[in-house]
Structure 1
Amino acid sequence: MKGKKMHKKSVVVFDFDGVLTKGGEGLKQKAWDILALPFHPDNADFLAEKRLEFSKGNGSRYDILRETFERFCSDNVEILTAAYADCYNTIVHKLLEQSGMPEGTKETLKTLAKFHTLFVNSATPEKAVRESIEHFGIKHHFRGIFGQPISKVDNLARAQHLAEVDNEFMLFIGDGKSDAKAAEEFGCDFVGIPNDWNKWTTETVKFPLVRSIVELPQLLGL
């Protein structure tokens, strides 16, 4: 996927964690570790198991917490789930404030937005990802900001509907297998961002890789 094919793209869709922010899965894991500090060790281990089970877009923080509380608390499960989900969201926001965005992200989004319609497509609950993007002061660059409970495939369809383009003119940027799978299932091209946990290299994946979104303008022929 090079040359003229990449230059035809008019819509660019970004995953959020690890693409527009630093940290990615590592930051989320740190947030879960902090959230679990008051838990009994056995319950903390069960929370970690549920985190793994529902990771990679298979479920939300609400699913993880609900099933954890159902295991050791028969009363007020929904209240506890909502309260701890809010706590998790607060922890993530604080960690994001500390880690920030990769260098050059704001400038790159400004450049891309002049020539492309931009969207965010995250496995984070939509309200939470909107709040994070507003915090970073980049909301105005995006036509739409999408998250759970809607799947990444369906969110790509939402972006397509708003932009009124065919799949071939769309590009999804992500750092997880679930991102690449969503792009394949939806039928648009994908560019990956390698990191310590996905361990992508040009030898192990078939799609193009960029070190950060800063390399996208050149890839797209700008």
Structure 2
Amino acid sequence: MDNITVVVFDLDGTLIESDEVKTRAYFDIFSPAASPVVEAAIRADRYENRFARIGRILRGLQGAEPAQSEIDRHAKAYNDICEAHQSTCAERKGASRVLASLASKRPLYLCSGTWEESLVRIVNARGWQPHFRGVYGGPRKKAANLERAAAHAGKECREMLVVGDTRDDMDAAVAKGCGFRGVKSGASDFGDASVALISDLSELESL
């Protein structure tokens, strides 16, 4: 790890305990009768963004292409539920301490699938803004946001370590030549991939 000069964190499941609520929120914005369609849409593509997934759900319910205004209305309701929870839910044990410790030694960035405007508000609400040099989210893909972090830091992607709890995080890191450290969470889906896994964020303090 001597060549690591930048650390990039995912948010949900990595720094905060929010994965379950982000899934449940799709059920909350539709009626109980829609639950089978919602469940099928989630299974169809785990990493689909909220607009695409809500469009998929509405098509399944209506049998026709939904109006963009209807997708946007449901997406706002979904975002409001998630952002309220992400701003106040429990953090992973030691997250604030580890961020403060690492930020004193090297640049930190946050790259998440959460929409960027919401992500900035969440980081501010949690008092974490001093720790991050950049906060990057959707609609850009994670791999593109890793490039943004590298450019902002003036570093090569190979000098960055990505810390995340899903295969999506790992795939983005591998695609850009970054190092990767997996965090065990309820959403972890690394399967048989060879991944260095941690269960306690304090293991990162030695970086």
1:29 is aligned to 23
**Aligned 8 A contact 2:166 2:187 in 1:** no
Partner residue of 2:50? 61
AA paired with 2:194?
Answer: K
1:13 is paired with a residue whose SS is: strand
1:38-91 residue CA offsets vs partner (Å, 9 max, x unmatched): 25x2x33222222232322xx311111123224417697222221211111121
Q: Decide whether the 8 Å contact of 2:158 with 2:176 is kept in 1.
A: no
Separation in structure 1 between the aligned mates of residue 138 and residue 54 of structure 2, nearest angstrom: 15
Is residue 126 of structure 1 aligned with residue 121 of structure 2? no
- TM-score under structure 2 length normalisation: 0.88
* Root mean square deviation, CA, Å: 2.2
With structure 1 as the length reference, what TM-score do the two structures score? Answer: 0.83
Instruction: Determine if contact 1:35/1:88 at 8 Å carries over to the other structure.
Output: yes
- Give the unaligned 5+ runs of structure 2: none
The answer for the alignment partner of 1:16 in structure 2 is: 11
Quick one: distance in 2 between partners of 1:185 and 1:31? 30
Q: Does 1:194 align with 2:188?
A: no
Distance 1:168-1:51 versus aligned 2 partners, 3 A rule: same
1:48 aligns with 2:9: no
Aligned partner (choices 68, 85, 91) of residue 75 of structure 2: 85
- Alpha-carbon deviation of 1:153? 0.9
Residues 121 and 145 of structure 1 are in contact (CA less than 8 Å); yes or no, is this contact kept in structure 2?
yes
1:200 to 1:151, Cα distance in 2 relative to 1, 3 A? closer
Counterparts in 2 of 1:12 and 1:75: CA distance versus 1, 3 Å: closer
Match of 1:157 in 2: 147
Matched residue type, 1:139: Q
Say if 1:175 and 1:33 are closer, same or farther in 2 by CA, change over 3 A.
same
Q: Provide, for residues 102-140 of structure 1, a one-character-per-residue CA deviation record: whole Å limited to 9, x for no partner.
A: 232112111111111111111122122222212111022
Alpha-carbon distance change, 53 to 74 in structure 1, aligned in 2, over 3 angstroms: closer
Answer whether contact 1:123 1:147 (CA < 8 A) is retained.
yes
Q: SS state of the match for residue 133, structure 2? A: strand
Taking a change above 3 Å as real, the CA distance of residues 73 and 128 of structure 1, as seen in their structure-2 partners, is: farther
Aligned residues: 206
Indicate the SS of the match to 2:85: helix
Instruction: Quote the residue 1:3 is aligned against.
Output: none
Counterpart of 1:207?
195
- Displacement of 1:14 in angstroms is 0.7
Higher mean alpha-carbon deviation, 161-170 vs 96-105, is at: 96-105
Q: 5+ unaligned residues in a row in structure 1: which ranges? A: 1-5
Answer whether contact 1:27 1:92 (CA < 8 A) is retained: yes
